[in-house]
Amino acid sequence: MIYVYKMQDFHNGYWTADNPEKREKIDDSDDWYWMNEETYKQQVKSMLIREGDNFLEMIATYRAPDYSTEPGDTKFEIRVQSFGFTGQGRTWIDSLTLESFTEQLQKLENQRQGKAEVSSMSHDEFWLKIYSTDSLGHMALFGRLSQIKYDSNLIIMGKPLLEFGFSFDPSVLPSIVKNFEAIVSDST
């Protein structure tokens, strides 16, 4: 199976087809990358926390290259479902904030106490806290996801906001740490 996707807008521009002539294009952009399924799985850096029907998924869709003015800044596609409410959006997180969050996660994993927090570069667009809920090391997360909506004249039409939170199995904490370490160490 062939995956075609635009790295900057991962979920808005991919299709699958065995025959490229029969593919259905979802996005009008010409900025596409072709790769096989195995390469695709190796390239995509993501983190998923799921507990029952609740989940938080963060997919790193673009990372500013080392030669750019802001190396390591990363664009994320974020999807959330929390107690029947769902939301999705895109946001940028700067490299220093990502590194700090990863260090906080490592400490949280080792001690099973405390918290790790991260927020987007744009004010109030995304915020996440992963924290211990008791002295036994049970874990939960809480966050906010919003996106300013504009009309064709760039007039603000609204700012949908989703606050979400749920507890999750602490045994997934090592994989969360590993996924963020991979995102931070990636030098695309």
Domain positions in the chain: 1-43, 44-185
Name the fold adopted by 44-185.
Transcriptional Co-activator pc4; Chain A (2.30.31)
The pairing of beta strand 33-36 with beta strand 14-17: unpaired
Amino acid 33: pLDDT: 45
Residues facing 41 on adjacent strands: none
Both tokens of 26, joined, read 């979802």
pTM value? Answer: 0.75
pLDDT digits (tens, 9 = 90+) for 6-51: 333 333 333 333 334 433 443 344 444 444 445 444 556 889 999 9
The conformation of residue 53, written as its DSSP 8-state character, comes to T
Amino acid 90: pLDDT: 93
Amino acid 35: pLDDT: 45
d(C-alpha 90, C-alpha 57), whole Å: 12
> Which residues, given as ranges, of the chain have pLDDT below 70?
1-44, 187-188
